[in-house]
A and B are shown apart, each in its own frame.
Chain A
Amino acid sequence: MRPFDYARPADVDEALSLVGDTPGARFLGGGTNLVDLLRRGVETADLLVDVSRLPLDEIEEAADGGLRVGAGVRNSDLAHHPLVRRRYPVLSRALLSGASGQLRAMATVGGNLHQRTRCPYFTDLDAPCNKRDRGAGCAARHGASRGLAVLGTSERCAATHPSDLAVALVALDARIELASRDGVREVSADGFHVLPGETPDIETVARRDELVTAVVLPSPPPGRGDYRKVRDRASYAFALVSVAAVLDVVDGDVASVRLGLGGVGTVPWRAHRAEAHLTGSPLSDERVAEAVALELADARTTPDNAFKVELARRTAVATLRRLATPSDSTAGAIA
């Protein structure tokens, strides 16, 4: 592993100064992704600024009925929090579906949003990868493409965004708080990750010297929420397709629905088109299938990943059908 230095600042301001002053500095959260990528030589750093023990580990109720989640909160602590389990079951289940118990106990909320793709060519230093090395080319498109995204792709990159947490956050209209020496700003979770376009190495709107300090959840949307993840094995694997959903049915019609898709996009995918198609009409499997077809109308597939279009349809149908069945206790009611 290429050597680097390590610093553990006493407060957020010191962390922002250290990274702001040092061109090769990176923030270090739980390290579950960054330490691995540093060891493999996929990422490099001259200095790691450890923010995992800063006082960013609070979960606080906000005046609007929402929650403010410090970026240093561990994934397991957020998933296990009583208010998250009761009010945001889609978020709790998304977190619980990710990685393993050990990794969830280490990984921070802020770090999760910065995790890199698991496209195998990204971590293969012998293969060209535009995400790792801008302009180098892409070995994935004509290689092992089964895991690639089908939405939001470009000629340069079709790497799938791996986060489960982020899929729930886009569905919940969460906001991401970013701090730097220049001040604090908020961006929507939906706008935090950027499409690969010509520059797949740029994955978020956060500058290198900006630290995610909090995730702000607005008050829970009405209805029932759930997260369903389909993968090659029952646990401890990345999604082939996942669906984050919050559904509110009033008098037989969909009053509101939130849909996020994982495993299919180069970014955590908010299914706005599908939501619009479902809102105001009675819910049926056929209607959900139409909605997903609209959302995936622009899908670009390879023979190896075309199955994701059908799998997304089936997963969305199954998830919404279950949410629409009040007697089914397996989906959490939102208090």
Chain B
Amino acid sequence: MPAPPPARPVTLTVNGRRTTASLEPRTSLLDALREQAGLTGTKKGCDQGACGACTVLVDGRRVLGCLTLAMQAEGCHVVTIEGVGPHHPLQDAVVHHDGLQCGFCTPGQVCSALGMLAEHRAGAPSLVTEDLAADAVPLTSAEIRERMSGNLCRCGAHNGLVAAVREVAESGSAR
């Protein structure tokens, strides 16, 4: 096996703060956040892009930290759950609606929902949207379920999560 390419400094802007860490190219954004930046709110679930627990926002888009190389995020604005809370209206709504039990998937759920709500405000349709050409899509429970299908919850708190997202979307307080 060849010697690993040397680690080199990578500067990330996380939650508005610039941090520089010495990273190997194979380091995922998820590992860089947790192990270099000390931001352990973002969770490592499957580490293979199946569960959504590592969802963070990169330049406002919801992405999976486990399948993003840290170097790919260089120069981008990364927002983790630490940059969202601690009392964002969506977080309060998740608590209020019992949208969690063990809490492991919750940071990813919240970041994913914030990215999803931004997509929805921009007029994005989903697979269950009847009229693709419509400018605005009502955010029904079916729409929320389809749009949030990339975030698994093994405790089965999905109903509470859907209620929380719906409440926040209707109140317009998720921005």
Contact = CB atoms under 8 A, between A and B. Distances in A.
A82 B125 CA distance: 10
Contacts of B68: 31, 35, 106
Nearest to A96: B127
Interface in A209-262: 234-236
A74 B59 CA distance: 14
A28 B68 CA distance: 11
A151 B61 CA distance: 37
Interface in A100-120: 100-103, 105-106
**From A3, A52, A101, A330, residue with most partner B Cβ within 10 Å:** A101
A3 B4 contact: yes
**Majority secondary structure of chain A interface residues (helix, strand, loop or mixed):** mixed
Contacts of A100: 52, 149-151
A6 to B, nearest CB: 4
A76 B5 CA distance: 33
B142 to A, nearest CB: 10
Nearest to B127: A96
A40 B146 CA distance: 29
Given A5-B5, A102-B62, A48 B25 contact: yes
A227 B28 CA distance: 34
Nearest to B25: A6
Interface in A25-40: 28, 30-32, 35-36, 38-40
Interface residues of B, number: 45
**From A85, A100, A103, A235, residue with most partner B Cβ within 10 Å:** A100
A68 interface: no
**Majority secondary structure of chain B interface residues (helix, strand, loop or mixed):** loop
B145 interface: yes
B166 to A, nearest CB: 16
B146 A235 contact: yes
A53 B55 CA distance: 20
A240 to B, nearest CB: 16
**From B1, B61, B67, B124, residue with most partner A Cβ within 10 Å:** B67
Interface stretch (A86-94, A142-150, A168-176, A194-202): A86-94
Contacts of B132: 85-86, 89, 92-93, 332
B119 A3 contact: no
B123 A80 contact: yes
A153 interface: no
Given A80-B124, A93-B127, A96-B125, A36 B62 contact: no
B123 A8 contact: no
10 contacts: A31-B67, A38-B26, A79-B124, A80-B122, A82-B133, A85-B125, A86-B132, A92-B125, A100-B52, A100-B151
Given A80-B124, A105-B62, 12 more contacts: A4-B25, A30-B67, A35-B68, A36-B48, A36-B49, A76-B124, A80-B123, A85-B133, A86-B132, A86-B133, A96-B127, A234-B146
Interface of A: 1-6, 8, 28, 30-32, 35-36, 38-40, 46, 48, 50, 52-53, 74, 76, 79-80, 82, 85-86, 89, 92-93, 96-97, 99-103, 105-106, 234-236, 329-330, 332, 335
Closest 8 CB pairs of A and B: A100-B150, A3-B4, A6-B25, A235-B149, A5-B5, A236-B149, A96-B127, A80-B124
